[in-house]
Amino acid sequence: MPGPRFLQLADVAEVLNISANQVYALVRRGDIPAVKIGGRGQWRVESSELEKYIERLYSETKDFIDSHPFGEEAEQTEEAHQL
């Protein structure tokens, strides 16, 4: 059975293993799309939008790793120290 369509910020925080305040900041910056629901304006994040955000982070991380090759630098530094 699929999960709920909309998640509370606390639920998003649990998925991402960060604080609810950090999730709120991501929502307010527009990094994670969200909607305000009800008279009190409770923030909700659609599950599919959270998954898109996570996929975007994977892509950005891959791009970062590709442009900052840790393995090659570490090997070159180690070789230089051995000389």
Which residue segments constitute the domains of the chain, with CATH numbers given? Answer: 6-82 (1.10.1660.10)
Neighbouring-strand partners of residue 35 = 44
| Greater model confidence, 2 or 9 | 9
Return the pLDDT at 68. Answer: 86
| Greater model confidence, 71 or 52 | 52
Q: Is residue 60 within 8 Å of residue 75, measured between CB atoms?
A: no
Return the pLDDT at 71. Answer: 66
Coil/strand/helix, residue 3? coil
Return the pLDDT at 81. Answer: 59
Segments in the chain forming alpha helices (H):
9-16, 20-29, 47-67, 70-82
